[in-house]
């Protein structure tokens, strides 16, 4: 989406406070956060400079309001009194960044790819954020397999790796986060469900659907950067997120179904059983066989 006209992709802003403002990890452009001109301009506009942000205050607010366990209280029709001030203050930090990033980049849409459902529930209470949520789902068994892999974090120059989870825990997290996004939709927030398998299968169509959802005008836009098999990506300034954000140039688009052969049958059955209701609701076949390519569901009634 960051390649579309009028769109600025920020990466996972939820991790910016700790990894970038505090630890000075590398931006998607390759520069340390403190040396990235884009983020320095954003910090100046938003806060009068990053040195004026009390990171420990933001992290304390995060702990106080933005945890999955707080979602039942955030998701009510009225925000409880003891949460209101904290949620407003916490969401205010994000609003400041979104506004400044839009001004610096000239974009009308900023994309925060933080995947924390609790953050979306907090932002729901910020009246001046026009919140639209692209809810990207992937087959839980593919997600569980992915979480078992050891992946380095280039932004730390090899000092750290991405979090790993056992498949049973992944299954529970998959359920909790996806259910939380469903709840957000029931509270009236515009939520567009995008299946990973469909996104890599028909990227141009899905991109058009996302553009329409976010109000991005594609008339006259050049979508030649993406085809069914690759995307040409320019350097961006994503602050944190998956290590593949550092890749630029021609990126192959391929449905990663390694899990079908690599996830042991016992674990596949466990994850399939724990996630069965939502897998079914999203149109995934419960009995995924080991044959590559069967992970994309044929759905009786499109769940979107």
Q: Which residues bind Zn ion (CB under 5 A)?
A: 27, 29, 36, 38, 237
> Looking at beta carbons only, is 29 or 200 nearer to Zn ion?
29
User: Rounded to the nearest whole angstrom, what is the least distance from the CB of residue 138 to Zn ion in the complex?
Assistant: 28
Residue with Cβ nearer Zn ion (36 or 194): 36
Q: How far is the CB of 57 from Zn ion (least distance, A)?
A: 25
With contact defined as beta carbons under 8 Å apart, do 279 and 140 qualify? yes
Token representation of residue 5: 């006209």
Q: Residue 155: exposed, middle, or buried by beta-carbon count in 10 A (0-12, 13-18, 19+)?
A: buried
For the CB of residue 216, give the shortest distance to Zn ion in the complex, in Å.
Answer: 22
Q: For Zn ion, which is the closer residue by CB, 29 or 122?
A: 29
Q: Would you say 4 or 16 has its CB closer to Zn ion?
A: 16
Q: CB nearer to Zn ion: give 29 or 87.
A: 29
DSSP 12: -
Instruction: Count Cβ atoms within 10 A of the Cβ of residue 131 and give its class: 0-12 exposed, 13-18 middle, 19 or more buried.
Output: middle
Segment holding 8, helix H or strand E:
strand 7-11
Token pair listed for 210 = 């996302």
3-state secondary structure of 188: coil
- 14 secondary structure, DSSP code: G
In whole angstroms, the minimum distance from the beta carbon of 39 to Zn ion comes to 6
Q: In the bound complex, what is the minimum distance in angstroms from residue 15's beta carbon to Zn ion?
A: 15
Please give the helix or strand (H or E) that residue 10 lies within, else none. Answer: strand 7-11
> With contact defined as beta carbons under 8 Å apart, do 29 and 84 qualify?
no
């Amino acid at each position: 989406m960051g390649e579309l006209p009028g769109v600025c992709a920020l990466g996972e802003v939820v991790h910016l406070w700790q990894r970038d403002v505090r630890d000075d990890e590398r931006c998607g452009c390759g520069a340390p956060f403190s040396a990235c001109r884009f983020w320095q301009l954003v910090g100046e506009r938003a806060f009068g400079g990053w040195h004026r942000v009390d990171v420990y205050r933001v992290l304390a607010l995060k702990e106080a309001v933005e945890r999955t366990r707080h979602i039942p209280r955030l998701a009510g029709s009225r925000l409880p009194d003891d949460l209101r001030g904290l949620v407003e203050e916490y969401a205010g930090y994000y609003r400041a960044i979104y506004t400044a990033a839009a001004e610096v980049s000239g974009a009308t849409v900023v994309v925060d790819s933080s995947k924390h459902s609790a953050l979306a529930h907090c932002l729901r209470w910020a009246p001046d954020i026009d919140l639209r949520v692209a809810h990207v789902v992937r087959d839980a068994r593919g997600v569980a397999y992915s979480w078992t892999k050891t992946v380095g974090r280039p932004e730390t120059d090899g000092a750290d790796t991405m979090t790993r989870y056992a498949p049973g825990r992944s299954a529970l997290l998959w359920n909790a986060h996806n259910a939380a996004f469903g709840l957000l939709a029931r509270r009236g927030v515009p939520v567009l469900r995008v299946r990973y398998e469909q996104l890599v299968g028909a990227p141009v169509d899905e991109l058009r659907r996302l553009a329409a959802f976010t109000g991005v005008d594609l008339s006259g836009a050049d979508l030649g950067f993406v085809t069914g098999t690759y995307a040409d990506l320019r350097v961006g300034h994503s602050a944190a997120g998956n290590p593949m954000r550092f890749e630029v140039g021609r990126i192959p688009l391929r449905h990663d179904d390694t899990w079908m052969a690599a996830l042991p049958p016992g674990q596949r059955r466990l994850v399939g059983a724990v996630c069965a209701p939502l897998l079914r609701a999203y149109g995934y076949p419960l009995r995924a066989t080991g044959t590559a390519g069967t992970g994309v569901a044929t759905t009786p009634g499109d769940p979107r």
